Structure 1
Amino acid sequence: MRILFLAVLRPHTGNAVTAERVRVHLEAAGHVCILKDAFDFESPSEIANLIEAEKCEAALALHLYRGGRLVQGHGIPFGIIFGGTDLNEDVNREEKSKVMGKVLEEARFAVAFTESMKEMAQRQWPHAKGKIYVQSQGITTTPNAAFNWSTFLQRAEINQSADNLHVFLLVCGLRQVKDPLYLVDAFSEWHQEEPNIYLVIVGPEVDPVFTKEVKAKVERAPGVRLMREMPQADLHAAVKNCFAVVNSSVSEGMSAAILEAMDLEVPVLARNIPGNAAVVKHGVTGLLFSDPQEFVQLAKRLVSDPALEREIVANGKEYIRTHHSWQVERDTYQRLLRKFEGSLEA
């Protein structure tokens, strides 16, 4: 089949990584996958022209609203992959929720990353029961073997001996839903007590106005650094070398940064929100915090307790092995696309 795949493809974001991984799965089954950025299109008519020009026989969209509203109504079967924005933000806007409900009526299938996401969707759109499947993100990490941690620290303006250094890495696009400033004040206070502790925020400048706010805050925050996005292999290498990965988002679908940290055997400290609690079991595969003060308490405990660190790392790695198999993800998407075949034969 020739499949149109719409997703938001901002470089170095979780959406882009997920879309590329799914594209590879589809092409491995012999399909031709035409991957396009949903933000490049403003109306369904533009998509209709693209479908005709590319002779697309089916479609897939990552994000029920951003992509789904563009692929419906064209007479070709399509499926949907939920994004966190769908169920955490867009669903609260009546007009968007109605549009998403209509998209689900027409979709042949929808994929949620977690059982809780599936349950939320079914409560909101009861008519979609029976067509929502759960498939966790498959994870593969490929650190750059040539990556130099000392060079990374120099770029981050951290001039300390690596032997006594504890770098916490917050990987996120600079937008409000990721809340990168949530821990800055508490972290700065901790750094002033223990100068070998640093927080490094790494990610693309998604929201230009908010980015200015983040830069201004970080410039005044001792022990906190801000770095631009990095190629995926370099980012994986940076994660592998840091002490722990942090997630402070207001809402998440499924954080790729958390899963990648677990796969790379690095401890995770995540804000206690439903999307994070679905993948991080407190005290077992990571640590969950409810406010900045609790974050500092838990982080200090992790720094001072190597046995806890080892246990969390081992459990996190095992969780990824058993629940986030790349091969299982591939099998699921290839099986779901077979739902289109009857329509095409007809």
Structure 2
Amino acid sequence: MGHVTFFGVVTFVFRHSAGCTGNAISSPHRCILVPSFEIKGKNSMPKMYRTKLAAMVKNFPRYASANQPPNGEIRSYIESAGHTCELRDAGEFQSPADVVNLVSEHPKFEAALAIHLFKAGRLLMDIEIPFGVIFGGTDINEDVKVEQKRVVMEQVLLKARFAVAFTDKLKEEAELFLVSQSSKIYVQPQGIQTDVTEKFCWTEFLRSSGVRTEHVDELRVFLLVCGLRRVKDPLYLVEVFSKWHCENLLNVLVIIGPKIDPVLTAEVETVVKRTAGVFLAQERCQQELHAAMKRCFAVVNSSVSEGMSAAILEAMDLGVPVLARNIPGNAAVVQHEVTGLLYSSPQEFVRQSQRLLSDHELRERVVRNGKLYVEEHHGVKQERETYQRLVDTLH
């Protein structure tokens, strides 16, 4: 078997494990998974093709990032097929030369997988082993607008064995802005699987976030799940929400996620301290995050750009209403008034929230349809089979 590595937002690299000989059919693979931000079955592959894979990821803990691929799950898919997988942070590498040195280690890596066409993919341009890429979202939605980045991404896509887009829309955008490589771009939605810990205290969670009230059960908690970075725009709703909170003290907004951008984090902390009704929670493990999501009134997304928000899909799976900013990535999974509610301004967010509070039939409908949508379109089984099949081409 071999080893695979991921680079960029997420890169996996596989390579043969120690003791493996050239044609040893049963030898295991080693895989590296690498995130570029600090912070997320059955064996269907021929044994002779198992490799060591290195993977680089942009965001490490999946729960902390609302739009990144399920790093841990992709890694498990690869390893369940017999490969060894190593996850690495792309931020560790200063240049493509550093990655060349990494994949040349003994035992050598045999393949790589990167998440994010620019941040991760650019690091793979000088390696001689085959690799694939997974679009992150901001690469296709934002980075393509910068000519220098677009040229680099075209070169990465040309060299890659395959590319994965979460939605048809993302694939269409890639084909529109980059050199046509339609035949190598596959569409695979994120597979969603939620896990709620039983050892979770809602009251303690709110208290530790700064919420002080004796009427915890009466609160309507809107939970904004996002890493603290500009593209997530965590302060987008703060001013208007605070005014709404002052009209009804039971409505509160809690922001939760990892502190990715130090400058923005400091700004958010300062604003939250002086803003009534808005709170900043410490990041939690995925099971605790899911427990908090399940207890909140609604999960909120305020991003400027998304590939596919895992937080939105997880909320749907947990039976929690979703209020998402009306951007292409969100509109691809949230059908307004069917699987969730979309808004285009802070003022519209408040209006849609008020509807959710007063219209119980609407709330029940979006919850029911959202859960059905995730069950029908975001199954883990199909995702696992897709990645195992694609990694099989990296030999």
- Percent identity (aligned): 55
CA apart distance, 1:271: 0.5
Measure the CA separation in 2 of the matches of 1:175 and 1:82: 18
- 1:123 and 1:223 mapped to 2: Cα distance? 43
Change (3 A) 1:41 1:203: same
Match of 2:70 among 18, 28, 34: 18
Q: Measure, in 2, the Cα distance between the counterparts of 1:199 and 1:176.
A: 18
Alignment partner of 1:207 is 2:235 = no
Question: What are the superposed Cα offsets for residues 161-212 of structure 1, whole Å, 9 maximum, x if unpaired?
Answer: 1332100000111122111111111111111111111000111111111122
The aligned counterpart of 1:29 is 81
Match of 1:157 in 2: 210
Q: Following the alignment from structure 1 to structure 2, what is the Cα–Cα distance between the partners of residues 313 and 262?
A: 7
Does 1:189 pair with 2:243? yes
2:184 aligned residue (131, 137, 150) = 131
For residues 31-86 of structure 1, the C-alpha deviation after alignment (integer angstroms, 9 at most, x for no partner) is: 11121111111112211111111411111001111111112332211100001120
Displacement after TM superposition at 1:140 (Å): 0.8
Farther-moved stretch of structure 1 (144-153 vs 67-76): 67-76
- Give the partner amino acid of 1:4: T
The superposition leaves residues 268-314 of structure 1 with CA deviations (integer Å, 9 ceiling, x where unpaired) of: 00000001001100000000001111110110110112221111111
Aligned partner of 1:238: which letter?
Answer: A
Shift of 1:9: 5.0
Specify the alignment match of 1:148 in structure 2.
Answer: 201
Picking from 220, 223, 240, the partner of 2:277 is 223
Q: Note the 1:1-346 alignment, pairs <5 A.
A: 1-6=2-7, 7=10, 8-11=36-39, 12=61, 13-14=64-65, 18-53=70-105, 54-158=107-211, 159-341=213-395
2:214 and 2:384 mapped to 1: Cα distance?
Answer: 43
TM superposition outliers: structure 1 runs of 4+ over 6 Å = none
Aligned Cα root-mean-square deviation (Å): 1.3
Distance (Å, rounded) in 2 between the aligned partners of 1:339 and 1:164: 54
What secondary structure, in the 3-state scheme, does the structure 1 residue paired with 2:234 have?
A: coil
User: 2: CA distance between counterparts of 1:326 and 1:58?
Assistant: 23
Please give the alpha-carbon distance, in whole angstroms, between the structure 1 residues aligned to 2:322 and 2:392.
37
Structure with higher helix content: 1
Q: Which range is displaced more, 187-196 or 211-220?
A: 211-220
CA contact (8 A) 2:154 2:179 kept: no
**Counterpart amino acid of 2:6?**
F
Measure, in 2, the Cα distance between the counterparts of 1:160 and 1:301.
26
Structure 2 spans left out of the alignment, 5+ residues: 11-35, 40-60
SS of equivalent to 1:101:
helix
CA distance in 2 between counterparts of 1:45 and 1:289 reads: 44
Q: Quickly say closer, same or farther: Cα 1:163–1:187, change in 2 above 3 A.
A: same
Q: Distance in 2 between matches of 1:16 and 1:319?
A: 19
Partners of 1:19 and 1:62 within 8 A in 2: no
Determine if contact 1:245/1:269 at 8 Å carries over to the other structure.
yes
State the SS of the aligned residue for 1:201: strand
* TM-fit CA distance, 1:17: 6.3
**Aligned with 2:272: secondary structure?**
helix
Q: TM-score, normalised by structure 2?
A: 0.84
Q: Distance in 2 between matches of 1:212 and 1:292?
A: 22
- Structure 1 length normalisation: TM-score? 0.95
SS at match of 2:183: coil
Secondary structure, aligned partner of 1:188: helix
Deviation at 1:116, TM superposition (A): 0.5
1:118–1:134 Cα contact (<8 Å) kept: yes
Using the alignment, how far apart are the partners of 1:300 and 1:160 within structure 2?
Answer: 23
Distance in structure 1 (CA, Å) of the matches to 2:350 and 2:308: 24
Runs of at least 5 residues in structure 1 that lack an aligned partner in the other structure: 342-346
Is the 8 Å Cα contact of residues 108 and 339 (structure 1) preserved in structure 2? yes
Task: Give the direction of change, closer, same or farther, for the CA distance of 1:99–1:17 in structure 2 (3 Å limit).
Answer: closer
| Distance in 1 between residues matched to 2:151 and 2:383, nearest whole Å | 29
Using the alignment, how far apart are the partners of 2:268 and 2:327 within structure 1?
Answer: 22
Deviation, 1:244, is: 0.2
